[in-house]
Amino acid sequence: MAKLNLSFVLLLFLLSSCSVEKMNLSPIGDNASQLSENAIPYSFDQKKILIVHSSEISNLISSFPKLRNDAVNAEVSNLKYHLKEYIIAMKSYNLTQLDSSHRKFEKSYKKLQKLRKYLNQDDDEVLNRYLVRIKTSMTLINNNIPQDSLSTSPKN
């Protein structure tokens, strides 16, 4: 009988302790609630495309090789920084920062194109391969970002 009462008390305790909900004070829970309030105006297909191409750019940034020319390496660092800014602006749907970082990216890209003539053939081919993949991903991202009629749109 005592065993039955003990198991009944344990079962009652277990049910009552599981049914009490406590307030979640973790920062992750707070961020999740903020994200649902500030819905980013991307459709599901747009989000999927943006994620694919931004991860492609991130992978290219992280695997970018060091070249033999210091000026090219310095400009590659600038290009990487502007690409990171662009991805952050895209995720937060900040069109002003998106436009600014895209213009900076274009300047850096053009400067790298001019500096390519100082590289040997192997380094030039590697740099060209990376730049083409980055430029392709950037173009595909730009084509999938919804343009707000009241704000500045990114320039292609």
| 109-124 pLDDT tens trace | 999 999 999 999 999 9
Q: Residue 79 is part of which domain span?
A: 44-146+152-156
The reported pLDDT for the residue numbered 145 is 75
Could you tell me if residue 32 is inside a domain? no
Give me the number of domains the chain comprises.
1
CA distance 101 to 130: 19
* Amino acid found at 87: I
Could you tell me if residue 53 is inside a domain? yes
Could you tell me if residue 66 is inside a domain? yes
Per-residue pLDDT reduced to its tens digit, 22-58: 544 444 444 444 444 455 567 788 888 888 889 999 9
Q: Following CA atoms 147, 152, 153, 156 in sequence, which dihedral angle do they give, to the nearest 10 degrees?
A: 180
Tokens of 140: 């595909």
CA distance 97 to 86: 7
CA distance 136 to 145: 15
Could you tell me if residue 98 is inside a domain? yes
